[in-house]
Every structure is written in C-alpha cells, then in structure tokens.
Amino acid sequence: MWRSFLRAHARITRVLEAELIAEQRLSLAAYDVLVQLAESPSMRMRMTELADAVLLSRSGVTRLVDRLERAGLVGRERADGDGRGIVAVLTPLGAERLRSASATHLAGVAEHFGESFGPGELEAFGRTCDRLAADDVYP
C-alpha cells in the first residue's frame, strides 16, 4: 500500500507539473511558493517559513525565489524588527500569474486526483491525510 501511495503521488505530481509547464510555463514548486505567499498574512513569509511550507531546503527555496524574483513574481524585503531576516513578498504580477495558473492546476487536480474517488472516498482520504499531516502525530 505504501509503495502504491508513493507511485500515485509521483505520477499525479508529474502530470500536474507537466500541465503547469506546458500551459503556464510555471513549475509545480513555483506555483506552490506563489500559493503559500498568497495565503499568508500580507502576502509575505520569512524565507525559512516558506522553505518549511513548500518542503524545500532553505537553499532550494532561495534559488527558486531568485528565479521568481527575476520574473517579477516575488520580491524580497528585510523582516520587520529583524535586520537579518528576509521575507519573500508576492508581487501584483505574481498574484495575477497565480490566478491564471490556478485554473490549470485546479482543473488538473480535479481530473487526475478528484475523479479517481468514489462517493465518500475523497472525504475519508482527506481525513486520513489530515491525521498524518498533524504536527502532534510526528513531532
């Protein structure tokens, strides 16, 4: 069962990424960064928090934010009250790009993930995933 889950995850994320790249020229990791920033207060996050949220290493998220910054989708600022901290900030262009990419991504999620479940199965799977993702399960 574990291997089936890993294969399913790998297949679905490959398909979703291919669709995002083909239709939006945006990687799944870049999309995830934009989503995390859009959902955070003031559309900004400390780089360390962003790395944790998108499950990338700090150096990986730094390189990704570098590319997004060059594209004008994300900016960087000093953290308030902390001269050493850096926050990533979603730009208006980044928010617009996220809106466009969301249509592609959410359609893909519905097709390649949601349609695979029968009545009641998706809710049960969601509850199981919520339990596995809870901080108190694996501190």
Q: Residues with Cβ < 8 Å from 23, sequence gap 6 or more?
A: 104
89 domain residue, yes or no: yes
| Residue range 6-15: mean pLDDT, rounded | 94
| 139 lies in some domain | no
| Region 24-38 average pLDDT | 96
Predicted pLDDT at 79: 82
* Domain membership of residue 18 as a residue range: 1-134
Distance of CA 80 to the CA centre of its chain: 25
Residue 45: inside a domain = yes
pTM of structure: 0.88
**Pair of tokens at residue 91:** 């730009």
| Residues 87, 48: Cα–Cα separation, whole Å | 9
Q: How many domains are there within the chain?
A: 1
Whether residue 28 contacts residue 16, with contact meaning beta carbons closer than 8 Å, is answered with: yes
